[in-house]
Amino acid sequence: MIPVMVWSTIIMQKRYNGRDYLLSVLVTVGCFIFILYPGSADLNPQKRGRENTVWGVSLMLGYLGFDGFTSTLQDKLFKGYSMEIQTQIFYTTSCSCLLSLSGLVLQGQLLPAIDFMFRHPDCFYDVAILSTVATASQFFISYTIRTFGALTFATIMTTRQLVSILLSCIWFSHPLSGVQWIGAVIVFSALYTKSFWRNKTTQKPILIAHSQGAKSATDS
């Protein structure tokens, strides 16, 4: 959420108040707490020899930065041009296809990939399913960004990751630590507060309009 807010300020000249940044920081901190302090010892990164490194943290920061830039730029394109969702998806995926194909050719992995597909024809079905689901998800993503904006999309994705981990722990009977429950409470409390403030801000002009209308009717 924070990268999206930063990019929105830079690219779209949006302004957020301190309350928005505070809620975004709380959601981020809650997610970090939930992920970094698992209840099971087998899932603890430090006990499994997967300590955090500068390179790993740098990759994650780069991913968050580019991911925030992508959704913000999509939001700007939707607002700046009369662009249809399928048009943006077509050009975006076409460029991604060219970049992926170039990477396979330069690394000498194109022919081995094709050979693998023909040696294992059963994977065609899996590839078709994954491609269909990925394409459908792009329509949902683009619709969310176009209708509600990049920040709302980032909020949904952040919440989805936390909920998916929570459901995975419940489904596979992984115990949740007390610290993880604290992180979950922080995230959902911040999201509820954000939703409450948004509804309160939206309802205030409506109440003012109703009161002015009632006053005009009384005067007449």
**CB count in 10 Å sphere of residue 187:** 23
Q: What is the pLDDT of residues 190-200, one digit of tens each?
A: 777 776 666 66
pLDDT for position 206: 46
Give start and end residues of each alpha helix (H) in 81-149. 85-106, 110-119, 123-148
Flag whether pLDDT at 215 surpasses 60. no
Sign of CA dihedral 13, 19, 22, 28: negative
Among the ranges given (117-121, 194-198, 212-216), the one the predictor scored with the smallest mean pLDDT: 212-216
Burial class (CB in 10 A: 0-12, 13-18, 19+), 111: exposed
The structure's pTM equals 0.66
- Phi, psi for residue 79 in degrees, rounded to 5: -80, -30
Query: Domain residues of the chain, as ranges?
Result: 2-82+149-219
